[in-house]
Amino acid sequence: MNVEQLAETAQSIVADGKGLLAADESTGTIKKRFDQINVESTERTRRDYRHILFTTPDVSQFISGVILYDETIRQDGPDGSPLVETIEKAGMIPGIKVDNGAKPLAPGGGEKVTEGLDGLRERFKAYYELGARFAKWRGVYSIGGGLPSRQCIRANAHALARYAALAQEANITPVVEPEVLMDGSHDIDACREATEAVLREVFAELAEQQIVLEGILLKPNMVLSGKDCPRQADANEVARETIRCFKRVVPAAVPGVVFLSGGQSDEQATVNLDAMNKIKDAEGAPWALSFSYGRALQQAALKAWSGNDDNAESARKAFYERAKATSAAALGRYAA
């Protein structure tokens, strides 16, 4: 394990207001996105769309790395160059999603545990050779009706920690993603309590697995009201509750927190991140607070493209502007 390399990758990802583009949608998920713009999801259309994003001029000012799906990390672009090389030449770091998705947690009850540990050591070796220098694994937790359960919290934390250990062994910086879902009518207090319980267990398991905290990044949810809650917390409350929650459980040794957008709109995800960075120093937050957004970075570009490569420049412009705005939010300088 090269601790210096792991830490350097983590620091590079969250440097100077930069963050991650999550372009790791599964085939099923990206099909749903393409269905919204009436575009058939094929290996070629998926590649062409993602290639447009990766070749946006100067976007590396704002995007430090790209999370890829297994299909994408093996693909060549329309010009015949591997997409990984295209990303590297653009000044960004290639990464890879390695989990196999959330499956029902036995013996039932509606919760999920993420699978994919079998054979992961060998897959990490292959991904490193393909150019991946960081990875991502997601665990999901629901709120409501006594959830998340202790069983779900412990099972997902253990999987996240085992994944992180295998990643660091392979000199791949792990992005650890425990996501407390915003689905439901719960208030922000319930989200804070669940998020704190989840993160507390995650870092306990990371310690058990001897994870070098300087060589990881945390990709969590923000502390939000449930999307069906009658009272929606504003950005200032989200910022305050998120930072105070994290200060209780996230060690200062972690270089950065790259938030997921988690169902928020483009604007909401940007405004909330900006609010956090505006109060970060006053609240004593020791980590870089940045982003690892998928839909919140891509939605405008996807609509501009609409499956027509003649619209590539319009799509790149839309992606560039959204990346620029999100980067500004990561510095606390966003002006809506």
- β-bridge partners, 144: 147
Total domains in the chain come to 1
Strand, coil or helix: what is 81? Answer: coil
4-12: average pLDDT: 98
Task: Write out the H or E segment, with its range, that includes residue 152.
Answer: helix 150-169
Tell me: pLDDT of 108 over 80. Answer: no
Per-chain mean pLDDT for the chain: 97
pLDDT digits (tens, 9 = 90+) for 127-137: 999 999 999 99
- Report angle CA 114, 115, 116 to the nearest 5 degrees: 135
Is the predicted pLDDT of residue 40 greater than 90, yes or no?
yes
d(CA 276, CA 258): 12
For the annotated catalytic residues, the residue numbers are: 177, 219
Per cent of the chain over pLDDT 70 is 100
Span 244-251, mean pLDDT? Answer: 98
| 120 inside domain | yes
Q: How would DSSP label each residue in 9-50?
A: HHHHHTGGG-EEEEE---HHHHHHHHHHTT----HHHHHHHH
* Mean pLDDT of the 271-297 span: 97
pLDDT at 294: 96
CB atoms within 10 A of CB 59: 23
**Average of per-residue pLDDT across 209-230:** 98
* pLDDT (average), residues 224-244: 97
The answer to the question of residue 42 being in a domain is no
- What's phi and psi for 51, nearest 5 deg? -60, -35
Q: What is the per-residue pLDDT for 335?
A: 86
CB 143 within 8 A of CB 191: yes
Per-residue pLDDT at 277 exceeds 80: yes
Backbone angles phi, psi at 107, to 5 degrees: -95, 15
Say yes or no to pLDDT of 336 above 80.
no
| Cβ-based neighbour number of residue 38 at 10 Å | 8
Pair 271, 334: CB distance under 8 Å: yes
Residues 197-220, buried b or exposed e (16+ Cβ, 10 A)? bbbebbbebbeeeebbbbbbbbbb
pLDDT at 109: 80
Confidence of residue 181 (pLDDT cuts 50, 70, 90): very high
Centre a 10 Å sphere on the Cβ of residue 27 and count the other Cβ atoms it contains.
13
pLDDT class of 302 with cuts at 50, 70, 90: very high
Mean pLDDT confidence for 102-120: 94
Looking at the domain assignment, is residue 335 inside a domain?
no
Is the residue at 220 inside a domain? yes
Residue 307's domain comprises 3-16+98-330
CA 275 vs CA 48, 70, 82, 202, 209: distances in Å: 35, 34, 38, 26, 34
| 61 occurs within a structural domain | no
The residue-averaged pLDDT of 223-246 equals 97
**CA atoms of 237 and 258, how far apart (whole Å):** 19
pLDDT band at 250, cuts 50/70/90?
A: very high
Task: Please report, rounded to a whole number, the percentage of residues in the chain having pLDDT higher than 90.
Answer: 98
Residue 252: pLDDT above 90? yes
Whether 88 is in a domain gets the answer no
The count of other CB atoms within 10 Å of the CB of residue 286 is 13
CATH number where 106 lies? 3.20.20.70
Residue 92, domain member (yes or no) = no
Buried b (16+ CB within 10 A) or exposed e, 135-151: bbbbbbbbbeeebbbee
Residue 45 lies in a domain: no
